[in-house]
Amino acid sequence: MNFDVSSDRRNTNSIKWNRDAIENISANPVAEPFWVADMDFYPEQHIQEAGKTLAGQGIYGYPSFPKDTAHVAAWMRIKHGWILPKEKIVFAQGLLHALALSVNLFTEKGAKLLVCSPMYRPFRIIPERNERELIEHNLGYEDGVFYLDRERFEKDAENADMIIFCSPQNPSGIVFKEDELVFVLETAKKHGIPVISDEIHSDLAHPNVKHIPMGLANERVGAKCITLFAPSKTFNIAGEHCAFATFSDSEMEEAFRKAESALWLDEPALTAGELSYAAYTKGAEYNKALCRYLGETAAAMRKYLEENCPGLKMVNGDASFVTFIDCRDYYQKIEAEVLGHPERYKGGEGGGILSRFFGVSAGVAMNDGTWFGSAWYTFVRFNYGTSRIRVMKALERMVRAVKSL
Ligand SMILES: Cc1ncc(COP(=O)(O)O)c(C=O)c1O
């Protein structure tokens, strides 16, 4: 559990470390990756051993691991204080699968889906691919703090057929308070629409910050609520696509189970099942240490930027390992630099002004804010799920780059 030693993933099949993919967003194939939301830490030892055992056996036939979800229910009880019967937990082949299937099952074509922005890009793609419309609800933002603007949220919800919520929020790192969750649920209930809560980052709330599952908050409200969660970000096993769903409404649960079984998508693959079982049964200590490490890294980043470059502002960042950095004080200069020197910043068509600038001038590859919505062009998303020394060196290079303009 020494998170100061992170892995070198250059010669693996990691998309985060892939040179072409890095060049595509940052205009620099050798920029260090601080983008795609997975971490450079090795998973907990038992998870690694489960993987090694499988590889040692060398045969990847049909599995017989426990098919029930008692281990998932135990994790939810211990980690989040939510007593959830194991029979109410439904397996899904990844969180986005569960989300897309729910959109298909519980809304009609042309339906309007409300999503808070800045938003994780697949929340924009899922409505598009499934012929639904997006209501992009911009979160409130002031001086480095994103927040839920209740008045505007309520207004946007008037026209919505479903709310897709992300809690904790990617990319801002907001951990919503219970009264905010209750407000969202009551708004949904008032309009008779379901809420889906994507809680893939929920096990990584930093110490002294409490994540409350939407489904738990809903026990007081009684809206139609689907809570989605997964071991993938928590334990850095995201390539294995394994997630879980729980429904407040038994008819919705039945429809979801029926659709998954009809599509033959209701069981995890061998490796996903083995790794997530090891994670949920053996990963508690690791998880505690990781939350501490990430919280300390976030605090160190904030302190460094405040002391050395207040013009680069780290936003909320209370959970997980991704955060937005607001670069608006430097944006005009950066834009002039990038547009004024097209030869220096060529390539990087998949990125934006800021991601190309920091890719070339600081050797730091990040998602441009525009990836999360066009309004967010003065932001970059920084992934700090790697050793603190690497993070701090990257920040130093970014500060040097903006100061040299
Ligand atoms: C908010 C959010 N939801 C879903 C996913 C992806 O989930 P999965 O790989 O299980 O489909 C991510 C990955 O970055 C994410 O940040």
Domain end call among 282, 313, 342: 282
Q: 3-state DSSP call for residue 151?
A: helix
Domain membership of residue 4 (yes or no) is no
- Tell me, yes or no, whether 154 and 251 share the same domain: yes
Local confidence band at 68 (pLDDT 50, 70, 90 cut-offs): confident
Q: 3-state DSSP call for residue 70?
A: helix
Please tell me the pTM assigned to this model. 0.97
Local confidence band at 359 (pLDDT 50, 70, 90 cut-offs): very high
- Tell me, yes or no, whether 114 and 191 share the same domain: yes
For ligand 1, residues with CB inside 6 Å are 37, 94-96, 120, 166, 170, 198, 200, 230, 232, 238, 241, 243
Q: What local confidence, expressed as pLDDT, does residue 230 receive?
A: 98
* Separation of first and last alpha carbons in the chain: 40
Query: Does the pLDDT at position 5 exceed 90?
Result: no
pLDDT digits (tens, 9 = 90+) for 268-286: 999 999 999 999 999 999 9
Q: What local confidence, expressed as pLDDT, does residue 6 receive?
A: 78
- Tell me, yes or no, whether 81 and 189 share the same domain: yes
- Tell me, yes or no, whether 312 and 177 share the same domain: no
pLDDT digits (tens, 9 = 90+) for 170-189: 999 999 999 999 999 999 99
- Ligand 1 mean position, distance from CA 196 (Å): 14
pLDDT digits (tens, 9 = 90+) for 46-61: 999 999 999 999 999 9
Domain membership of residue 12 (yes or no) is no
- Tell me, yes or no, whether 230 and 313 share the same domain: no
Contact 359, 29 (CB under 8 A): no
Task: Please report which helix (H) or strand (E) contains residue 284, including its range.
Answer: helix 284-308
Cα separation, 368 vs 382, whole angstroms: 9
pLDDT digits (tens, 9 = 90+) for 301-312: 999 999 999 999
Cα separation, 231 vs 5, whole angstroms: 22
- Tell me, yes or no, whether 218 and 297 share the same domain: no
Domain end call among 250, 267, 282: 282
Residue 218 CB partners (closer than 8 Å, separation 6+) = 181, 185, 195, 225, 248
Q: What local confidence, expressed as pLDDT, does residue 257 receive?
A: 97
| Nearest of 226, 280, 282, 281 to residue 256 by alpha carbon | 226
Query: Does the pLDDT at position 199 exceed 70?
Result: yes
Task: Please report which helix (H) or strand (E) contains residue 318, including its range.
Answer: none
pLDDT digits (tens, 9 = 90+) for 112-151: 999 999 999 999 999 999 999 999 999 999 999 999 999 9
Report the number of distinct structural domains present in the chain: 2
Cα separation, 219 vs 182, whole angstroms: 10
Residue identified by tokens 């699968």 is: 97
Contact 364, 398 (CB under 8 A): yes
- Ligand 1 mean position, distance from CA 369 (Å): 17
Indicate which residue's Cα is closest to atom 12 of ligand 1.
200
pLDDT digits (tens, 9 = 90+) for 8-44: 888 899 999 999 999 999 999 999 999 999 999 999 9
Domain membership of residue 11 (yes or no) is no
Q: 3-state DSSP call for residue 372?
A: helix
- Mutate-to-test residue for ligand 1 from 34, 39, 95, highest number of ligand atoms within 8 A of CB: 95
Q: What local confidence, expressed as pLDDT, does residue 64 receive?
A: 84
Read off the pLDDT of each residue in 313-336 and give the average, rounded to a whole number. Answer: 97
Average model confidence (pLDDT) for the chain?
A: 96
Domain end call among 282, 316, 337: 282
Report the percentage of the chain scoring pLDDT > 70. 100
The count of C-alpha atoms lying within 13 angstroms of the C-alpha of 92, restricted to the half-sphere facing its C-beta, is 30
Domain membership of residue 127 (yes or no) is yes
- DSSP class of residue 309 equals -
- Tell me, yes or no, whether 81 and 153 share the same domain: yes
- Tell me, yes or no, whether 246 and 118 share the same domain: yes
Q: What local confidence, expressed as pLDDT, does residue 10 receive?
A: 86
- Tell me, yes or no, whether 130 and 276 share the same domain: yes
Cα separation, 58 vs 179, whole angstroms: 51
Q: What local confidence, expressed as pLDDT, does residue 239 receive?
A: 94
For the domain that residue 298 is a member of, what is the CATH number? Answer: 3.90.1150.10
Q: Give the number of other CB atoms < 10 A from CB of residue 191.
A: 17
Q: What local confidence, expressed as pLDDT, does residue 66 receive?
A: 66
> Is 359 exposed, middle or buried, given 0-12, 13-18 or 19+ CB atoms closer than 10 A?
buried
Domain membership of residue 10 (yes or no) is no
Q: What local confidence, expressed as pLDDT, does residue 123 receive?
A: 98
Q: What local confidence, expressed as pLDDT, does residue 336 receive?
A: 98
- Ligand 1 mean position, distance from CA 96 (Å): 6
- Ligand 1 mean position, distance from CA 321 (Å): 13
Domain that holds residue 370: 19-43+285-403
Domain membership of residue 8 (yes or no) is no
Cα separation, 148 vs 311, whole angstroms: 24
- Tell me, yes or no, whether 23 and 134 share the same domain: no
For the domain that residue 202 is a member of, what is the CATH number? Answer: 3.40.640.10
- Tell me, yes or no, whether 362 and 238 share the same domain: no
Read off the pLDDT of each residue in 236-249 and give the average, rounded to a whole number. Answer: 96
Domain membership of residue 232 (yes or no) is yes
- Ligand 1 mean position, distance from CA 259 (Å): 21
Domain membership of residue 128 (yes or no) is yes
Query: Does the pLDDT at position 291 exceed 80?
Result: yes
pLDDT digits (tens, 9 = 90+) for 69-103: 999 999 999 999 999 999 999 999 999 999 999 99
Check whether the bond before 207 is cis (ω within 30° of 0). no
- Tell me, yes or no, whether 58 and 191 share the same domain: yes
